[in-house]
Structure 1
Amino acid sequence: MSGAVRLLMMGLVAGSAAWVGLAAGERGVTSDGLREAAVAQIAVLMGREAVAMPGPEPTGPVIYWRHPDGLPEWSATERQTDNGRAFLPVRASEDLSLDPETAPAATGTGERRILYYRNPMGLPDTSPVPKKDSMGMDYIPVYEGQDSDDGSITVSPGKLQRTGVRTAEAVLAPLAAALRAPGVVVLDERKVSVITTRADAFIETVADVTTGSTIRADAPLVTLYSPEIAQAIAQFVTDLRAEGRPRDGARQRLENLGVPAEVIDRIADEGRPTVSIPITAPREGVVLERMAVEGMMAQAGETLFRIADTSTVWVIAEVPEAALMAVTKGVEVRVTFRGLSGQPVTGRIDTIYPEMDMTTRTGKLRIELPNPDGRLLANMFADVEILLTGAPVVQVPEGAVIDTGDRQVVILDLGEGRFRPQPVTTGQQGGGMVEIVEGVGAGDRVVSAATFLIDAESNLNAALAALAAPEADQ
Structure 2
Amino acid sequence: MKRIALTGLALAAVLAAGVGGYWAGVGGLPAPGLRQWFGVEATLAAAEPVGTGAVIYHQDPGGKPAYSASPRQTGDGRAFRAVRASEDVSFEDKPPAVVAASPAGPGRILYYRNPMGLPDTSPVPKKDSMGMDYIPVHEGEDDDGPVVKVSLGRLQRTGVRSKLVERRVVGRLVRVPGTVQLDERRISVVATRSEAFVNEVANITTGDRVTKGQVLLRLYSPDIAAAGAQFLTDLNGGGRDSALGGARQRLENIGLPTEAIAEIERTRKVPLSVAWRAPRDGIVLERTVVDGMKVAPGEVLFRLADISTIWVLADVPEFDLGAVRLGAPVTIRVRSLPGRGLNGRVSLIYPQVGEATRATRVRIEIANPDGALLPNMYAEVEIGTGDAAPVVAVPDDAVIDTGTRQVVILDRGEGRFEPREVKIGLRGEGFTEIREGIAEGDRVVVAANFLIDAESNLKAALRGLTPPEAQP
TM > 0.5: yes
Query: In 2, Cα distance between the equivalents of 1:105 and 1:305?
Result: 93
Counterpart secondary structure, 2:190: strand
Q: Does 1:286 align with 2:283?
A: yes
Q: Pick the aligned partner of 1:231 from 226, 233, 237.
A: 226
Deviation of residue 351 (structure 1)?
5.1
Query: In 1, Cα distance between the equivalents of 2:456 and 2:69?
Result: 26
- 1:434 matched residue in structure 2: 432
Deviation of residue 413 (structure 1)?
0.7
Query: Residue type matched to 1:335 in 2?
Result: T
Query: In 2, Cα distance between the equivalents of 1:430 and 1:194?
Result: 46
Q: Deviations over 1:414-450 (max 9, x none)?
A: 1111112222232333343323333323322111222
Query: Residue type matched to 2:401 in 1?
Result: D
Q: Deviations over 1:210-235 (max 9, x none)?
A: 32222222222222222222333444
Deviation of residue 138 (structure 1)?
3.5
Flag the 1:294–1:112 CA change in 2: closer, same or farther, 3 A: farther
Query: In 1, Cα distance between the equivalents of 2:236 and 2:119?
Result: 115
Counterpart secondary structure, 2:212: coil
Preserved CA contact (<8 Å) 1:427 1:437: yes
Taking structure 1 as the reference length, the TM-score comes to 0.64
Preserved CA contact (<8 Å) 2:287 2:302: yes
Deviation of residue 301 (structure 1)?
0.8
Where do residues 225-264 of structure 1 align in structure 2 (5 Å cutoff)? Answer: 225-237=220-232, 247-264=244-261
Counterpart secondary structure, 1:453: helix
- 1:385 matched residue in structure 2: 383
Flag the 1:416–1:216 CA change in 2: closer, same or farther, 3 A: same
Q: Does 1:166 align with 2:161?
A: yes
Flag the 1:153–1:262 CA change in 2: closer, same or farther, 3 A: closer
Q: Pick the aligned partner of 2:446 from 437, 440, 448.
A: 448
- 1:214 matched residue in structure 2: 209
Counterpart secondary structure, 1:455: helix
Query: In 2, Cα distance between the equivalents of 1:268 and 1:469?
Result: 108
Query: Residue type matched to 1:277 in 2?
Result: V
Structure 2 portions without partners, runs of 5+: 1-53, 57-67, 72-81, 89-101
Query: In 1, Cα distance between the equivalents of 2:70 and 2:299?
Result: 94
Query: Residue type matched to 1:406 in 2?
Result: T
Deviation of residue 371 (structure 1)?
0.9
Aligned-residue Cα RMSD (Å) equals 4.2
Query: In 2, Cα distance between the equivalents of 1:172 and 1:401?
Result: 16
- 1:409 matched residue in structure 2: 407
Q: Pick the aligned partner of 2:306 from 306, 309, 320.
A: 309
Preserved CA contact (<8 Å) 1:336 1:384: yes
Deviation of residue 324 (structure 1)?
6.8
Where do residues 184-203 of structure 1 align in structure 2 (5 Å cutoff)? Answer: 184-203=179-198
Counterpart secondary structure, 2:385: strand
Query: In 2, Cα distance between the equivalents of 1:385 and 1:404?
Result: 29
Deviation of residue 251 (structure 1)?
4.0
Query: Residue type matched to 2:209 in 1?
Result: T
Counterpart secondary structure, 1:255: helix
Counterpart secondary structure, 2:451: helix
Taking structure 2 as the reference length, the TM-score comes to 0.65
Flag the 1:265–1:438 CA change in 2: closer, same or farther, 3 A: closer
Preserved CA contact (<8 Å) 1:176 1:431: yes
Query: In 2, Cα distance between the equivalents of 1:278 and 1:251?
Result: 18
Q: Deviations over 1:308-337 (max 9, x none)?
A: 1111123455667888787665x3412323
Query: In 1, Cα distance between the equivalents of 2:136 and 2:180?
Result: 66
Query: Residue type matched to 2:164 in 1?
Result: E
Q: Deviations over 1:384-432 (max 9, x none)?
A: 5143327765332221111112222111111111112222232333343
- 2:457 matched residue in structure 1: 459
Q: Deviations over 1:14-52 (max 9, x none)?
A: xxxxxxxxxxxxxxxxxxxxxxxxxxxxxxxxxxxxxxx
Structure 1 portions without partners, runs of 5+: 1-58, 62-91
Counterpart secondary structure, 1:205: strand
Deviation of residue 287 (structure 1)?
1.3
Q: Does 1:333 align with 2:329?
A: yes
Query: In 1, Cα distance between the equivalents of 2:460 and 2:236?
Result: 110
Larger Rg: 2
Preserved CA contact (<8 Å) 1:313 1:369: yes
Q: Pick the aligned partner of 2:271 from 255, 274, 280.
A: 274
Deviation of residue 196 (structure 1)?
0.5
- 1:7 matched residue in structure 2: none
- Using the aligned pairs only, state the percent identity: 47
- 1:116 matched residue in structure 2: 112
